[in-house]
């Protein structure tokens, strides 16, 4: 079945460490997104990508980085510069501009 796979489901980061969250889709979608979900703050856009080898900063990109080397993959790195990384991270994709987003099941990142 087609869908979006995020891994791992739970991730722990030590101080000063970079961690990478995986997002893979087999829906043949061009656009992919990363959102951060915090209680009371909704979903905040970190980065998004319209096509391979191209991506744009969202509303809260500081402390994060992404790459889009393959259509199917859009990994998110949470760098040590992100001082408050504890959150639930959601990856999403869509095939056409502003059509329905398909979401992954999320990764819960916590700081040790």
Partner 1 sequence: AQSVTQPDIHITVSEGASLELRCNYSYGATPYLFWYVQSPGQGLQLLLKYFSGDTLVQGIKGFEAEFKRSQSSFNLRKPSVHWSDAAEYFCAVGAGDDYKLSFGAGTTVTVRA
Q: Is 88 in the site for partner 1 (CB under 8 A)?
A: no
Residue of 99, 100, 106 lying closest to 4 (CA atoms) = 106
The least distance separating partner 1 from the CB of residue 9, rounded to whole angstroms, comes to 13
| Residue 45 or 111 with smaller CB distance to partner 1 | 45
The least distance separating partner 1 from the CB of residue 95, rounded to whole angstroms, comes to 11
Distance CA 27, CA 35 (A): 19
The residue from 25, 82, 94, 107 that contacts partner 1 (CB under 8 A) is 94
Q: Is 74 in the site for partner 1 (CB under 8 A)?
A: no
Q: Is 41 in the site for partner 1 (CB under 8 A)?
A: yes
Residue of 40, 41, 38, 64 lying closest to 49 (CA atoms) = 64
Q: Is 1 in the site for partner 1 (CB under 8 A)?
A: no
Q: Counting Cβ atoms within 10 Å, is residue 100 exposed (0-12), middle (13-18) or buried (19+)?
A: exposed
Distance CA 29, CA 75 (A): 15
Residues binding partner 1 (CB under 8 A): 31, 33, 35, 40-45, 48, 50, 56, 58-59, 90, 94, 97-98, 100-101, 103, 105-106
């Amino acid at each position: 079945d087609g869908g979006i796979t995020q891994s791992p489901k739970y991730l722990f980061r030590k101080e000063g460490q970079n961690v990478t969250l995986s997002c893979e889709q087999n829906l043949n979608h061009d656009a992919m997104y990363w959102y951060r979900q915090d209680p009371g703050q909704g979903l905040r856009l970190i980065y998004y990508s319209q096509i391979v080898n191209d991506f744009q900063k969202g509303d809260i990109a500081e402390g994060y980085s992404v790459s889009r080397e393959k259509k199917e993959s859009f990994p998110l790195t949470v760098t040590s510069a992100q001082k408050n990384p504890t959150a639930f991270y959601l990856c999403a994709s869509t095939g056409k501009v502003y059509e329905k987003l398909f979401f992954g099941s999320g990764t819960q990142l916590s700081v040790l």
